[in-house]
């Protein structure tokens, strides 16, 4: 008879009992993870991210690259100032409003990235045009000096 009473007093484990966490830390961690995943947003970028963008711009402007092959290398100190200006202008050019719920900010980030690229190209192109104008002016001045020398030789 003792075998029968043992069977009757054994607890039956149901699916509901298995779903409850045994450790309160697990429940707390789960809540924290849910908050993290629901609040993930890539806009606005952190200051660390913005600094990384500036560093990359400096590298692009002041090191050998496809861009520098076409438009020339910019000295590092000048590139640093220009990179900060480009990033700040691009950041201010995109909508500064907070990202609506359910949107991770990817569209704003894409606009920010396009603004940086556009401003960087505009800068290197304008710098290149200025260099061409300066060189052309120098050539005209040097050509004028050569003509003066030639005319003095012919007159003598």
- pLDDT tens-digit series, residues 11-37: 555 555 555 555 778 888 777 777 665
Domain topology for 43-128: Serum Albumin; Chain A, Domain 1 (1.10.246)
Residue 63 contacts by C-beta under 8 Å, 6 or more apart in sequence? 73
Going by pLDDT thresholds of 50, 70 and 90, the confidence category of residue 2 is low
Residue 62 CB neighbours (<10 A): 19
**Rounded to 10 degrees, what is the CA torsion of 67, 68, 73, 78?**
0
Maximum mean pLDDT: which of 71-75, 113-117, 134-138: 113-117
* Domain edges within the chain: 43-128
Q: Is the pTM of this model over 0.85?
A: no
Percent of the chain scoring above 90 in pLDDT: 40
CA distances from 120 to 63, 87, 142 (A): 14, 9, 33
Local confidence band at 128 (pLDDT 50, 70, 90 cut-offs): confident
Alpha helices in 72-105 (DSSP H): 76-93
């Amino acid at each position: 008879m003792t075998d029968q009473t043992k069977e009757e007093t054994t607890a039956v484990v149901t699916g509901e009992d298995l779903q409850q966490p045994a450790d309160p830390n697990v429940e707390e961690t789960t809540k924290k993870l849910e908050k993290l995943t629901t609040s993930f947003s890539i806009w606005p970028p952190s200051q660390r991210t913005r600094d990384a963008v500036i560093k990359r711009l400096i590298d692009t402007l002041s090191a050998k690259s496809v861009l520098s092959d076409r438009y020339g290398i910019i000295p590092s100190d000048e590139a640093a100032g220009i990179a900060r200006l480009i990033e700040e202008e691009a950041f201010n050019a995109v909508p500064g409003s907070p990202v609506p719920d359910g949107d991770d900010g990817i569209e704003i980030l894409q606009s920010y990235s396009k603004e940086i690229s556009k401003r960087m190209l505009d800068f290197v192109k304008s710098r290149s045009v200025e260099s061409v104008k300066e060189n052309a002016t120098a050539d005209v001045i040097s050509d004028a000096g050569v003509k003066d020398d030639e005319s003095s030789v012919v007159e003598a």
